[in-house]
A and B are shown apart, each in its own frame.
Chain A
Amino acid sequence: MKSTQYSEKVLDHFRNPRNVGTLEGDDVAWGEVGNPVCGDLMKMYIQVEDDTIADIKFQTFGCGSAIATSSMITEMAKGKTLDEALKITRQDVADELEGLPPIKMHCSNLAADALQEAIKNYRDQKKGKVPLPVIQKATGPVKELVGEKEFLGKGVYHSVDDFSPFQDKRVMVVDRGPKSLEIALELTKHTGRVIVVTPGKAFSSVDSDLAKGIKQSDIKIIYESEPLEVRGSDEVEKVLVHDLDEDEEYELFVDAIIILK
């Protein structure tokens, strides 16, 4: 079965998704599952009255089945008590949609997980539990990357005076405060591919103009991540990146990396 051979009901929910959006208020909680790296990210919002889901909304980045399952579960959960809603399984959602292609059963059928996460968060909020702090910035001395010394001058830069070597190159800038972000912004005049890697969910800089400038530019920002290793043959070709949120490592092809000292 091809991945895109969906049932009519899946296609209907994909074409006309129900309950799209976000919710706000004291009785609202939300759950998030997935990861853009895998191609699916789902946010499920619930508004609870008398232990019952009075309203529910979602936002999804992903393939046809990711969108359809999100939409489907909002219809199934609305009006249910929290305990009833917790019992909805991935299989229930797939059955209600008249089946999903086997390859999609695992990767793009996360709506039940997102709903359960939202319910859990709601109950935690009611118990007065404070959510764990999300920003876990590295406070200790900055670790040196594997290969950083070896490739110094061969694609690794500890300072930037001259922007000409970066002309048309893929440049990764490690967020080391406002100076590094200024360099990133300046680089966009010399190349179309600038990537900023930052360990937090936001930049190190508190300068809002600078942060705004970066968000409006074509700079690709990788949040909650840190570079671990520089790789290449005789000059920098790849950087091994650690996704702190998912605790996953992946290689990214770049030509240069700027790590201010």
Chain B
Amino acid sequence: MPFIPHTQAEVAAMLESIGATSCEELFQEIPDALKIKGIDGLGPGLTEMQAWRLMQTLAAQDQSKLNFIGAGCYEHYIPAAVWELATRGEFLTAYTPYQPEASQGTLQVLYEYQSMLAALTAMDVANASLYEGATALSEAILMAIRCTKRASNKRILLPKSVHPFYRQVVKTMTSPQAVELIEVEFDHNGQISKQKLDELAKQEFIALVIPQPNFLGILEDVDFLCDWAHQNGALVIATVNPLAMALLKPPGEWGTNGADFACGEGQSLGVPLASGGPYIGFLCCKREYIRQLPGRIAGVTTDLDGKRGFVLTLQAREQHIRRAKATSNICTNESLLATVNTIYLALMGAKGLKQVAVQCHNNTSYLKEALRTMSKFRLKFDSPFFHELVLEFQKPVAEVLEHLAQQKIQGGFDLSIYYPELGNCVLCCVTETKSKQDLEQFIQALEKC
């Protein structure tokens, strides 16, 4: 085994000290009938170089030339400093700060992370992160139900303009608690249908989920939606792209009273696409709900000398204390990615972050304008957008994407699978990473589809 330091002589000395004659003897409490000789399907161990050679061949197969898929996972430029710092061994190989005096680095980073996320979303408080965007939305919904304490009704309005995978995850994670998810259709502009909302206003429900931007890349009328929900006695759960919040009105400022909870996926803040993870979910709320907030939270305190320090706080909500009565079963947060988010935000500042958001938007506008002159496909919705567009083709999307993939271009996300009403539609994303030449190349490739 490549990472065990013991020499044979040391093993012998240790066994003697224990009073055993062999390592096998240390497993004597396990019935012999259960013991196996080895694991099938494993060869001899590889050296680091052998492993590198093998994996390099595999990784090389997956290299694309240009990527225009977004759909919740976004390609952004990541300044070199971000991961150089985050992968320092002291951050990378530490564990949960259970001994705060030996973990002030991680704890202060988490406190700064919470402060930055609260600032971005204009919410009062944030936790120290959850797994990823979809599970964060699930936790926000369960939290809203706990905050309402209305046993007779567990209805949540979950618009179809929310990421289809998020809606599936929410269903899996909330159905055991008998949560009733009510779909709200989108209208011909790709926005939550106000007419459908009015039809639903007759029923009691606990919360309305508002995506900004929504899954189709379109901006929702957040002030109206937020006030509408509050006027109907419901809470508001925002699910937002945090990068866009440098440019767009943040949940805490929506409508008259602001959203009650804001959650989302933090991947766009310095985390690479990385084939799907690790990513990071965030969850913020109004101060009055903090005791129902799931997951770890870092807080300020003082030491014996009155010096400022940081600890994990409000742990009485959590599974290791409350067990079956905890706010959630969650234990792990995504500390490393919270560290990445924090360093990225510190480096970019409000100004740098807004520039990235605007560049994404302007590059997307460039593509949108270019598309107007083309005949093979059209823009499905002409509504305000952030950095994604829905294109409608005259043939099945699978053919188009296949054709582009042959040129190592990822053309977008096939909407026809999850939105049958959007047959032949693809969701394309353009971020700040795309130059004019990249966009021209994409447009030419599209024309040949």
Say whether A and B bind each other. Answer: no
Show the binding face of B for A, using Cβ within 8 Å.
none
